[in-house]
Amino acid sequence: MMDQALQHLVNGTVLGGTYALLGIGLTLIFGVMRVVNFTHGELYAFGAYMVYALVSLLGLNFYLSLVLATLLGVALGALVELVLLRPLRHADIDSVMLVMIGAALVLQNTEMWVWGGVAKMVPTPFVGTPLVVGPVSVLPLRLFVFAVAVALLVGFWLLLDRTRIGTAMRATFQDPQTASLMGVRVGLVHTMTFALGSGLAAAAGALLGPVFVVSPTMGDLVGLKAFAIVILGGLGNLPGAAIGGFALGYVEEFGAGYLSTEYRDAFGFLLIILVLAIRPQGLVAARERIG
Amino acid sequence: MLNRRTILLGGLAAPLAAPLVLRHGLAAEPVRIGMTQPLTGVVAASGNYVANGAKAAVAVLNRAGGVLGRPIELVLEDNKSNPREAVAAAEKLMLRDRVPVMIGAWSSTFTLAILPKLLEYKVPMIVETSSAARITTSGNPWVFRIAPTSEMEALAFAELLPKFSPPIRKIDFLSVNNDFGRGATEKYGAVLGAKGIPTGRAETMTPEATDLSAQLTALKQSDSDTLFVTTGVEQLTLALRQAIEQRVNKRLISTGGSFPDQLLHNPLPAGQSSDHILFYAPWFPELARHPEVARAYTDEWNRNGWEFAGLTEGFRGYDAVLTAAAAIAGAGKPEAEAIRQALWKVDVKGVNGDIRFFKEGPAGQESGQNHPNAYVVRLADGKATLI
């Protein structure tokens, strides 16, 4: 019994790391820009397809491909912000949401058109034999993914906390008008925020694509889960998104392991209902009114 | 804009082209066969393979003169791995394209969703893959299934039990949570249970699930020696790879004809193997009931440069088109009711074997069911061997 619990704990931690990565990008964009980014799942799929293309089609080094896929995600995010969101800076939240839903559909259908509907697998330099420590086993690839996810989370926190652009982002997060009066170029902050958030989604896709399979619809469930994570942690709350990511990973893993595998995906959403009922502002966020 | 030169050239060409148009255009109006498959979505790999098989059959038949002296046209619609879309695709084929016969729809869930529409529009459908028993027992006389039911498959597998060493003593299931997966769990459990092989744990997964670690960790605790996995190609590949990761030290067997083709290029770690219940083993075409048909199918597939592993599922589309064409030829006209009547009389040499329909379901409303052959193929280190 303890063996099983330990294995679930390891599985939940590894899964939670990537969920946290997904949640951080989404919540950052909402926090700074007040944009509900429905393209987040598609940017995740974009990252996965880019790593597939770079490794399988161009024959590039796997690690280099992960970096390039993330950078391409950053570039796509910047493009979406400049072309779609910048003209809507002063539009109401409903119009922006509709545009983002449209953009998500366009991205998904473009992926389907370019890559076809059949799932792809990404070859990796990692062996398929699991590392075994006592009763627990885990693939080296999953450990690598977890380590990179944690490194990205720490790096992102450092970026926000210790750099000028991070300070500008936090200032815009707190009060865009005052930030603007203090000389912060809010337009540039928005572009960088959306690009960075998109880059994190693409990084998550690039990391998880080789673990699972790459398909045009892979972003659907992931996008939904990213929203679940952000709601769990509190909208616009960065530490909350990280905690929400790990919470969702554990709830899914232990719920499926001990209650029912049939409702694995439902457990996360049941948790959201519970959190919203008891603590509507999320697990971490302070009470605030949005919009 | 038309200028004088264009009109002059057109005038000269028209009398020359007219006989060709009459012979090949008007006289040879194609006979349409409708098909809906999951070309995108979570089971897209299988759907595309089956669609390719159908295209291969159409090409082979058309080279041989088509049917009723007319070429065959395959009208293919994507059901997007979604039952609602499957119904929309079927309605489009029957109402707008006015196909007199259909093929579909891969998953039992998609096929079951379409069944009422067949009754409504009175168009026969050849079911090439779906295995849920209800498809041919619910009293729908427009359904003709060439694929085996889960029970048939389980019975065919049970005959091969003596070939497994060490013997199978207790089984677990990991099945996709739909009609396909639940049907396999129920029927394999019952058939093998009757042979004295009890079921340990039965776990499910949603069709979209990619992380199966929780299910596999739970299955690892069971004292069974064999795990049956039932799902589409993509999820099957993930399940087998993750079973190795979670050290599920059991014999791994996939059901339903799905074959994890990616494991040919990216095999499981050395020493690990998996067994697969298939209905065509392309590594051994000479062992097919009709090797010449299997060879024609394989040659056409290779001519198109499609992936080898897709042959394991593509034959379904190939055999379905052969069956539809035989029924159209038997009917003497491309009309739905005549084709339905003719389907009861077909005797087709298919890739899987002989295709003939017997009656299933309530009297007077019977559906047609074929009795296909099954093989078990072992995959180890990227190499396949027949059990």
Instruction: Tell me the average pLDDT across A235-256.
Output: 87
Q: How far from chain centre, in Å, is Cα B166? A: 31
Q: What are phi and psi of B360, to 5 degrees?
A: -135, 150
Confidence of residue A31 (pLDDT cuts 50, 70, 90): confident
Comparing C-alpha atoms, which of A73, A72, A100, A68 is closest to residue A84? A100
Q: What are phi and psi of B78, to 5 degrees?
A: -80, 125
Q: Which B positions 239-278 lie with beta carbon below 8 A of chain A?
A: 241, 244-247, 262, 265-266, 268-269
Comparing C-alpha atoms, which of B102, B35, B17, B26 is closest to residue B70? B26
Q: Other CB atoms closer than 10 Å to residue A76's CB: what's the count?
A: 23
- Measured at the CA of B184, the angle between CA B183 and CA B186, to 5 degrees, comes to 65
CATH 1.10.10.10 describes domain B151-278: no
**What pLDDT does residue B41 have?**
83
* Helix (H), strand (E) at residue A207: helix A186-208
**Separation in Å, CA of B263 to nearest CA in chain A:** 10
Helices (H) and strands (E) in chain A, counts: 11, 2
Q: Is the peptide bond before B105 cis (omega within 30 degrees of 0)?
A: yes
Comparing C-alpha atoms, which of B251, B243, B252, B254 is closest to residue B217? B243
Angle, helices A238-258/A264-278, rounded to nearest 10 degrees: 130
**Beta bridge mates, A95:** none
Q: Is the peptide bond before B166 cis (omega within 30 degrees of 0)?
A: yes
Question: How many CB pairs (< 8 A) connect A and B?
Answer: 102
Q: Do B211 and A212 touch (CB under 8 A)?
A: yes
* pLDDT tens sequence across B173-231: 999 998 889 999 999 999 999 999 999 999 999 888 888 988 998 898 899 999 999 99
Mean pLDDT of chain A: 87
- Measured at the CA of B251, the angle between CA B248 and CA B255, to 5 degrees, comes to 110
pLDDT higher than 80, residue A284: no
**What pLDDT does residue A35 have?**
86
At A181, list the tokens.
Answer: 């009066």
Confirm if A48 and A214 have CB atoms less than 8 A apart. Answer: yes
Q: Do B214 and A253 touch (CB under 8 A)?
A: yes
Q: Do A118 and B41 touch (CB under 8 A)?
A: no
Which chain A residues are closer than 8 Å to B78 by Cβ?
A: 117
d(CA B334, CA B312): 30
**What pLDDT does residue A286 have?**
53
Q: B375-380 and B273-278 as β-strands: parallel, antiparallel, unpaired? A: antiparallel
- Is A117 in CB contact (< 8 Å) with chain B? yes
Q: Which A positions 165-194 lie with beta carbon below 8 A of chain B?
A: none
More confident residue, A168 or B323: B323
**Weakest-pLDDT range from A47-51, A282-286, B334-338:** A282-286
Q: Domain coordinates of chain B in residue numbers?
A: 31-148+288-369, 151-278
* pLDDT tens sequence across B18-60: 444 444 444 579 999 999 999 988 788 889 999 999 999 999 9
d(CA B331, CA B360): 22
Q: Which B positions 163-202 lie with beta carbon below 8 A of chain A?
A: 177
The SS3 assignment for B76 reads strand
**Separation in Å, CA of A187 to nearest CA in chain B:** 38
pLDDT higher than 50, residue B108: yes
Q: What are phi and psi of A158, to 5 degrees?
A: -60, -40
Mean pLDDT of chain B: 89
Confidence of residue A1 (pLDDT cuts 50, 70, 90): low
Instruction: Tell me the average pLDDT across B142-167.
Output: 93
Test the A interface: residue of B37, B204, B213 with most A CBs within 10 Å: B213
Q: Do B40 and A15 touch (CB under 8 A)?
A: no
Which chain B residues are closer than 8 Å to A5 by Cβ?
A: none
**Separation in Å, CA of B247 to nearest CA in chain A:** 7
Give Cα separations from B97 to A3, B31, B32, B81, B323 (angstroms). Answer: 58, 11, 8, 21, 20
At B122, list the tokens.
Answer: 């009175």
Q: Do B209 and A264 touch (CB under 8 A)?
A: yes
At A62, list the tokens.
Answer: 């796997």
Percentage of chain A lying above the pLDDT 70 cut: 97
d(CA B252, CA B266): 17
At B214, list the tokens.
Answer: 């929780």
d(CA B304, CA A46): 29
More confident residue, A174 or A201: A201
d(CA B49, CA B154): 24
**Beta bridge mates, B104:** B36, B127
In total, chain B counts a number of residues equal to: 387
**Beta bridge mates, A133:** A136
At A75, list the tokens.
Answer: 């570039």
User: Which residue has 């570039």 as its token pair?
Assistant: A75
d(CA A253, CA A261): 9
Comparing C-alpha atoms, which of B357, B330, B379, B324 is closest to residue B73? B324
pTM of the model: 0.79
**Weakest-pLDDT range from A34-38, A96-100, B361-365:** A34-38
| Fold annotation for B31-148+288-369 | Rossmann fold (3.40.50)
User: Which residue has 């005959």 as its token pair?
Assistant: B159
Q: What one-character-per-residue DSSP string does B266-323 give?
A: SPPSTT-EEEEEES--TT-GGGSSSHHHHHHHHHHHHHTT--GGGHHHHHHHHHHHHH
d(CA A169, CA A28): 9
**Weakest-pLDDT range from B11-15, B38-42, B76-80:** B11-15
d(CA B193, CA B213): 27
At B97, list the tokens.
Answer: 């394209």
Comparing C-alpha atoms, which of B320, B314, B301, B373 is closest to residue B59? B301
d(CA B330, CA B144): 15
ipTM of the complex: 0.78
Give Cα separations from A251 to A232, A274, B203 (angstroms). Answer: 12, 12, 18
**What pLDDT does residue B122 have?**
97
Confirm if B257 and B279 have CB atoms less than 8 A apart. Answer: yes
**What pLDDT does residue A113 have?**
85
At A111, list the tokens.
Answer: 């992926």
DSSP alpha helices (H): ranges in chain B? 4-20, 44-63, 83-91, 108-121, 134-137, 150-159, 179-194, 213-220, 233-245, 262-265, 291-303, 311-331, 336-343
**What pLDDT does residue B277 have?**
92
Confirm if A237 and B236 have CB atoms less than 8 A apart. Answer: no
d(CA B247, CA B315): 34
Q: What is the DSSP letter of B172?
A: E
d(CA A29, CA A197): 6
Q: What is the DSSP letter of B148?
A: P
d(CA B65, CA B345): 22
**What pLDDT does residue B320 have?**
98
At A119, list the tokens.
Answer: 């799932």
d(CA B16, CA B338): 38
Q: What is the maximal distance between C-alpha atoms in chain B?
A: 86
* pLDDT tens sequence across B264-285: 777 777 778 899 999 999 998 8
d(CA B365, CA B381): 49
Q: Which A positions 210-269 lie with beta carbon below 8 A of chain B?
A: 212-213, 215-218, 220-221, 252-257, 261-262, 264-265
Q: What is the DSSP letter of A117?
A: S
Q: What is the DSSP letter of B161?
A: G
**What pLDDT does residue A171 have?**
87
